[in-house]
Amino acid sequence: MNTGRFKKAVLGTLGGSAALVLCLVLLDMAFPLPRTAPEPACVVTAKDHTPLRAFADKDGIWRYPVSINAVSKTYIQALLTYEDRWFYYHPGVNPFAIFRALFQNIRAKKTVSGGSTLTMQVARLLFPHPRSVPGKIRQMLRALQLEWHLSKDQILTLYLNMAPFGSNIEGVQAAAYTWLGKPADMLSHAEAALLAVLPQAPSRYRPDRHPDRAKKARDKVLDRMAAFRAWPEEDIRSARIEPVVSFRNQPPVTAPLLARRLHRRMPDHQLIRSCIDFDLQLHLETLIRDYCSRLPDQQSAAALVVDIPSAEVLAYAGSADFGDSERQGHVDMVRAIRSPGSTLKPFLYGFCLDQGLIHSHSLLVDTPRFKQAYDPGNFSKGFLGPVSAAKALRMSLNVPAVQLLEAYGPQTFSDRLKNAGARVSLHGAPNLSMILGGMGSDLESIVTLFTAIAADGITTGLKFTVQDLPQRRFLMSPGAAWILREILSQPLPGFEHISRLSPRVPVAWKTGTSYGFRDAWAVGIMGNYVAGVWIGRPDGSPCPGQYGARTAVPLLERILFALPLSSFKTPPPESVSKTGICWPLGHASDRFPEHCHMTRQAWVLDHVIPPTLPTGLSMDSSLLKSVWVDQAGRRARPSCGGKEKKTIALWPKSLDPWLPNYWRRHRLIPEASPQCPDMAAIEGNRLEITGIQDRGVLTRTPGQQSPPALPLTSIGGNGKQHWFLNQQPVGIIMTGTSGTCPMPLPGAYQLAVLDESGNSDFIEFEVIEQAGSGLE
C-alpha cells in the first residue's frame, strides 16, 4: 500500500515536473528572447580604445560596448558584492533574496527592496514592466529564461553594457568616460563603488548635479564592502576620503570626420576600433587649428600620417576645425577630389626609370616648347636649360615633366596610377596636362602612392581600422623606388632644414600647387612614416599667393617634427648601381670619350644607360651628326671638296642660349666652305641679335626720370621668339618685329633669343651708371 502510494507520488512528481518543463519550453518558444544586444549605438575609438566620437542610437542613448575583461576587477567586486553576491550560484532568481525583500517591505510598510538579482535586472532592461506583482513574476520568468539560454558571463556582460548611469548614458564604459574621464579598467576603489550604485537611481545620484547624494550612496557600497571584507580596510579608508567628481565630460569629438566615415562604412557596428594614435591625433588637430588661424579666411587644411610598414593611418584630419562653418569644417578634404598640382611627378619619373627611358641624371630640356600641343612654363616663370632628371624632379620643373610624359604616354601613366589603387578623375582622354595637375585625385590616394617609395614600390591600401585587410599592389620596381627616395631626400636650396630635420633621418618630400592657387600640397617621407598635407578652400576658390612650398611645407615640417625619429637608410637594391655618364649623348662615360662634353655620376637600373631623350624638334632626333669637311676643316659635300667624314656630338638645339659658347651649335658645326655656295646651313635660318653690340657697355644716368629701355631686336629666325635676360624671360615677340624691356641695374648680363625652330643667338653686355647715357 505504502509502496503503491510512493510510486504514485513519484510518478505524479515526475509528471508534474515534465508538465512544468513542457510549459516552460512552450512559453520560451512563444515568448523568445529578443536580440540581446541593445539598439545600435556606435563608438569609434583610437587604437588604444580611447573614444574618438560617439554616435547615439535613435533615442539619443550613448553606449560604449565593453567586455568583462575590459572592466576593472575592482568594479566587478563592488557590483556583485552590493547587488548580487550569489550571482554565480543561483538560477536567475534568488529565493532567499525574494523572501528577505518581502519581509523588509512588510515591516517597513513600503517598498524598500526588490530582491532582484543581476539577472532579473537584465530581464527588466530587456523587458520593461510595471512595478507590480505580475510584473515581478514576469521578470522572474524572464530571468530564468536568460539563465537557460545564456552563460553567467554573458548575462553580466549585458548588464555592463545596458545598465543606466544617468542622462543618456548606458553601460559602465560610457559612464566611466562621461563621469570620470577614464576607461572602466582604470577605476579607483571609490570610483568603482560610485558606478556600482549609480544605476539604482541614476538621476538622483548623478555626480555632476548631486555630488553629496552620490557620495552618500557610494559610501553605502563601501560600508558593504567593509562588512563582507571584500576589500582591504586601507583601500576602503582611502576611498571614503576621495571626493566625488562634480562635472560631466563632453562627448568625445576627436578625428570626427574619420569617425563619421567609418560609421557610415560600418553602420551596424557598435564598436569600431581605428588605427589612430590618440596622442598624435590630438597634437595634429591642435597644429592644424593653430596654423590655419593665421591663414586667409575660409581656408581649410587636411593631413594624414601613415605608418608605412603596417599602412595604418595614425592621424587623420579632414579639415582645419570640424566646428568651424566659415572654413567648411564638415567637409572631409582627405577624400575630396582636387587638382594635385605637381605631387604626382615622382611617379612619372619612377615609371620612366622602369621603362628604361631615363636614369637619375639623364639630360632633360627645360626650355620653351615650340610647335608643341602643350606649351607650359615653370612656376618660377623662367627656364634652366639643361638639367638632370634628379634636379628637374627636386625643383619640380614643368617642361621636363611634360617631356617625360610625352615619351611615356599619358594613357599608360593614368592606367598605372589606377592599377595601384589611386583615385584618378579625368575630364576627357588622358593628356600631357595631367602631370601638372590637369586631373583630379585626393590626399588619401597621394599619400598611398608615396608609401610605395619607401616600401619597395608596393602600395598598400591605407588601414583605417584594426580589422582592415588592405590590398597590396605593384606600382614600380624596388630599384626605381629607391632612386626616387634618394633624389627627393637631397637638400633643396632654401629648404635644407626640412631635408634634414634630424642628422640621422633624411626627409624625402614633394610639393604641389594647382592652377590658380586653389590647392597647396606637401608630402614627406621620414623614417617609417609618410605625412601628407593639403591646404586650400573647400569650395575651390583661389587663394592668391598660397602655394605648396610657402603654405603647405611649414605645416608638413611641424607634423614631421612630432613623429618619432627612427633611422632609415637602406642600401640600394642589387638592381641599382652608380656609374659615370656623359652629356649631351647620355651614354656611359667610357663608351665614346671623344663625344663626352660633361660627366655625371648617375644611379642606373639593371645596368641600362638610356640615351638622351629627343626634345620634339625634328632636327634633335639625333644628337650625333655626321658632316663632310674639306682639308681646312670646313663643311663641304664630297662633290665640292669634302675629304673626310666627321662625327659631332651636339646638344639639343633649344639649349643653345643656356650653354657656354664653345658648346653651341654654331661653334661645334664647322662653317660652310665657300666652294659650296649653295649648301644650306644645317642650323637653318640664322638668327642674330641687333641693336646691342656683343660685349658692349650700356650706361645709365643717375636721377633719370625715364630710364632707357633695352631693345629686343633681331634679324632672321622663324615665328615666335622668346627673349631671356640672364636666363630669365623678358619678352615674347614675333620675328620681324621688335620690342623692349626695362633697362637692368648696373652689372654684367647675357641677352639671348630663341625662336620656335630652335634657332638662337646671345650676346653679353654690361650696364654701368655714370653721367651721360648711350651705347659705348
Catalytic residues: 83, 342
Cell, residue 16: 508534474
Is residue 167 within 8 A of residue 248, CB to CB? The reply is yes
Is residue 49 within 8 A of residue 273, CB to CB? The reply is yes
CA pair distance 590, 603, nearest whole angstrom: 16
Is residue 194 within 8 A of residue 239, CB to CB? The reply is no
Task: Kindly report the backbone phi and psi dihedral angles of residue 512, in degrees, each rounded to the nearest multiple of 5, phi listed first.
Answer: -160, 150
Helix (H) or strand (E) holding 134: helix 133-149
Q: What is the DSSP string of 42-101?
A: EEEE-TTS-EEEEE--TTS-EE----GGGS-HHHHHHHHHHH-TTTTTSSS--HHHHHHH
Indicate the SS3 state at residue 396: coil
CA pair distance 542, 253, nearest whole angstrom: 30
Nearest to 526 by CA among 562, 552, 494, 495: 562
DSSP 588: B
Helix (H) or strand (E) holding 769: strand 760-769
Task: Kindly report the backbone phi and psi dihedral angles of residue 436, in degrees, each rounded to the nearest multiple of 5, phi listed first.
Answer: -110, 20
Cell, residue 629: 669637311
Q: Tell me how far CA of residue 42 lies from CA of 53, 259, 279, 467, 757, in angstroms.
A: 9, 10, 22, 16, 67
- First and final C-alpha spacing in the chain: 151
Nearest to 120 by CA among 104, 135, 99: 135
Pairing type for strands 774-775 and 739-742 reads unpaired
Q: Tell me how far CA of residue 463 lies from CA of 309, 424, 460, in angstroms.
A: 11, 20, 8
Residues in the chain: 776
Nearest to 441 by CA among 477, 417, 467, 461: 417
- Alpha carbon 774 to its chain's center: 59
CA pair distance 549, 701, nearest whole angstrom: 40
CA pair distance 136, 143, nearest whole angstrom: 10
Q: Say if residue 624 is exposed, middle or buried (CB neighbours under 10 Å; 0-12, 13-18, 19+).
A: middle
CA pair distance 476, 81, nearest whole angstrom: 63
Is residue 159 within 8 A of residue 47, CB to CB? The reply is no
Is residue 759 within 8 A of residue 684, CB to CB? The reply is yes
Handedness of CA 230, 233, 238, 240 (dihedral sign): positive
Is residue 315 within 8 A of residue 301, CB to CB? The reply is no
Establish whether the linkage from the previous residue to 256 is cis, with ω within 30° of 0: no
> E strands within 437-502?
458-460, 472-474
Cα dihedral: 45, 48, 50, 51 (round 10): 0
